[in-house]
Chains A and B, each alone.
Chain A
Amino acid sequence: MNIIETSKLVKRYKNHTAVDRIDLDVREGEVFGLLGPNGAGKSTLIGMLVGTLKVTEGSVRVLGKDISRDSTAIKQDIGYVPQDLAFFEKLSAYDNVIYWGRLYGLEGPELKSAVQEALEFTGLWDRRKDTSENFSGGMKRRLNIACAIVHKPKLLFMDEPTVGVDPQSRNSILESIRKLNHNGTTVIYTSHYMEEVEAICDRVGIMDFGKLIAVGTIDQLVTETVKEEFATIEINNMSLQLAEAIKRIPGVTRCERNQNVLDIQVNPAIMSTIQLLEMLISKRIDIQAINVEKPTLETVFLTLTGKKLRD
């Protein structure tokens, strides 16, 4: 079942189209990564999905309901972790989570137990009485999450929840997301850290210039997007003539020499990296080392957008 369905979704500001005819399905129970360079339209898309931005054209169904008609009911079951630390720094961690719990309609013993659960889940229960302005960056990030999960949402939007935290806190946050997902929460996750997306996301959507240019599992995206193979080969007694000769082999699309090392890109439809190596060995080329690079999400992103994610 799809927990989010958008059809021809458009958001236009005067002459600028921030989101352009997006059809997106997010399945219940998955962690969906949303990637895109700055200004790609990710935040605008999320704004429409959580009901804070009006839709210009198209439709949005969240949790099986139309956002334009049932936004209050939908909001009851979604959580939102913004990129900014959006809570009251002068209040204690406990008071903050109480506040957000009440906004989601929790009261009395149910509220208290939910707050305790959220603070324990994020590892802040022992520091619940401390004013949050005295927290470290990682603790503030965790409090930001606690405020969003106090009501146990079915769908959780997380907009770069690990920005500016140390590796230990990041791991703790990623582990929390896995646990939440394991407990049944569907997560929409945006991040500039490719390794985080690779680590926790089941499927990924890549946005650029307001369009959703690719959606799928990481393996699918790699297979479908990256058509070439990459390898570095270290050769003894490397010469300019040899490098030029390799470059002329059909299927080799790029060959750059750096002293004894060749950076090679081949088109597997014509010749695979293995076939190239076999050919070089049969010609008695003295190969010292080989490194075949596995294409990653970063490669996919670079191929599709022409930019690195942190550009």
Chain B
Amino acid sequence: MTVLLNNLKRIFLKPINIVLMIVVPIVLNLMFISIFNAEQMYEVGIIDLDDSKLTASIIEEMKIAANTHEYENDDAVINSALINSTINMAIRFPENYAEDMINGKCPKVEIYAVEENTDSVPLTMLVAAIGTNCGEIGKLCDGDEDKFYDCVEDYLEGTFQTEYNNFDLSKGEQIERAVNSLGYLAMGMMFLMSFATTLLLEDKMSRVYSRILTTPTTRASYLLQHLLSYVIVAAVQVVLIISLLPVIMDGQLSFGDSFGVTLQVMLVTLIFATACIAIGLTVSRFSKNNVVAGAFIGLVNLPVLMLGGCMWPRDLMPEGLQRVGDFVPTTWFLKAAEEVLYENGLGAAWKELALLGGLAAILITVSFLVETDDKC
């Protein structure tokens, strides 16, 4: 256990390693989750030709989700603002909009947006819904302006209430967020893979490795102790991050509703980490120096993270790339984690776990068994 204990000492004696293994994945998670969870504020141009109490109320209501900017009734100016992305959309309230509403005529607002851009869809739907419902209120109020505005006020308060309820995350969304978070954690695991490479190559370059082989310690024992030390580090990393992140995120993130599910997530992550370590061990075992190993790890890391859905959802990628992504360990990891998070148990993820375990087993066997001369 001498090599193992010494490795742990070498890893944990350097504060930078702790920062890279624990702090960076947590900060990355916080950063990405904050970005994706931030309420998107739309920029909306308003051309209010009616200038009524109703249009003022609707504009006020829109301010919950949008920054509104008043515009002159000039198509060229609006087109320019849309093309330059100064605004996401523009809404033109026609003259007599409120009067027509009160008289039950259901007038339409005009909405302008860049055709290919979907940014404006939620607000378009909101404005359309308000317009339709105000029209219905108008019909019911039969031209009574005071009654109409009282009803509209009640309706808009109700709309706000509905909107508030929508902020609650459904279970599906919670799991999606947890899977995304594990994707960022996968980056930390990939770092561990590079780290495994670094320590072993350090030993090789300083000739400590070949010197160790002149002692009764066998190559298999040396490599096994290296492997175990990284698995221990990975276990610490996984347990700490998966336990701490939900606390730090103040309930916005959860790796399972029960301790059992959280434990399964940890186990799946640890199996993935072992596969990553096995890749690192194999690379360092057969690389002559850090340059070769660094280049290889770089070539592996980025595509594996991208294709596996750690940087963006796999569904956003073309079909062909998704099929290629089926063969990378990050995909197997995230699929297995998703199964576990949906409380389907480890059995439901057996295929992905078998693939991860198999990959690790093959690489470790190759590293241990392939004979090479270790020159003094």
Contacts and interface: CB of A to CB of B under 8 A. Distances in A.
A46 B216 contact: no
A91 B6 CA distance: 10
A244 B218 CA distance: 68
Interface in A20-78: 43-44, 46-47, 50-54, 72, 75-76, 78
Contacts of A105: 216
Given A88-B6, A99-B6, A43 B375 contact: yes
Contact of B214 (A44, A75, A87): A75
A14 to B, nearest CB: 12
Contacts of A5: none
A87 B216 contact: no
A86 interface: yes
Contacts of A179: none
B214 A52 contact: yes
5 contacts: A50-B214, A52-B213, A54-B371, A75-B216, A80-B214
A89 B10 CA distance: 11
Contact of B374 (A52, A84, A86, A157): A52
Q: Chain B CB within 10 Å — which of A46, A47, A72 has the most?
A: A47
A311 to B, nearest CB: 22
Interface string A96-116: 000110111100000000000
B13 interface: yes
Nearest to A43: B376
A85 interface: yes
A50 B217 CA distance: 13
A84 B207 contact: yes
Contacts of B210: 52, 82, 86
A159 interface: yes
Interface of B: 2-3, 6, 9-10, 13, 206-208, 210-218, 371, 373-376
Q: Chain A CB within 10 Å — which of B13, B212, B371 has the most?
A: B212
A90 B10 contact: yes
Contacts of B373: 47, 52-54
B215 A86 contact: no
Contact of A103 (B9, B207, B212): B212
A159 B207 CA distance: 13
Contacts of A46: 376
Contacts of B9: 91
Interface residues of A, number: 31
Contacts of B211: 80, 82, 86
B215 A75 contact: yes
Closest 8 CB pairs of A and B: A80-B214, A86-B207, A102-B2, A86-B211, A84-B207, A103-B215, A50-B214, A47-B376
A84 B209 CA distance: 12
A82 B212 contact: no
B interface SS class: loop
A103 B217 contact: yes
Nearest to B215: A103
A263 to B, nearest CB: 42
A87 B208 contact: yes
B87 to A, nearest CB: 58
A261 to B, nearest CB: 46
A88 B10 contact: yes
B215 A104 contact: yes
B2 A99 contact: yes
A122 B13 CA distance: 27
A100 B208 CA distance: 10
A51 B211 CA distance: 11
Given A75-B215, A85-B206, 11 more contacts: A47-B373, A51-B213, A52-B373, A53-B373, A75-B214, A75-B216, A76-B216, A88-B10, A90-B13, A103-B3, A103-B216
A82 B206 CA distance: 10
Contacts of A80: 211, 214, 376
Nearest to B375: A47
A240 B215 CA distance: 65
Interface string A156-187: 01010000000000000000000000000000
A51 B375 CA distance: 10
Contacts of A86: 206-208, 210-211
Contacts of A52: 210, 213-214, 373-376
Given A46-B376, A90-B10, A84 B214 contact: no
B152 to A, nearest CB: 73
Contacts of B207: 82, 84, 86
A90 B375 CA distance: 24
Contacts of B2: 99, 102-103
Contacts of B371: 54
A87 B210 CA distance: 11
B216 A104 contact: yes
Contact of A51 (B6, B13, B208, B214): B214
A130 B208 CA distance: 20
Contacts of B374: 52-53
A207 B13 CA distance: 45
B372 to A, nearest CB: 9
Contact of B375 (A44, A72, A85, A88): A44
Contacts of A100: 215
B214 A72 contact: no
Nearest to A100: B215
A72 to B, nearest CB: 5
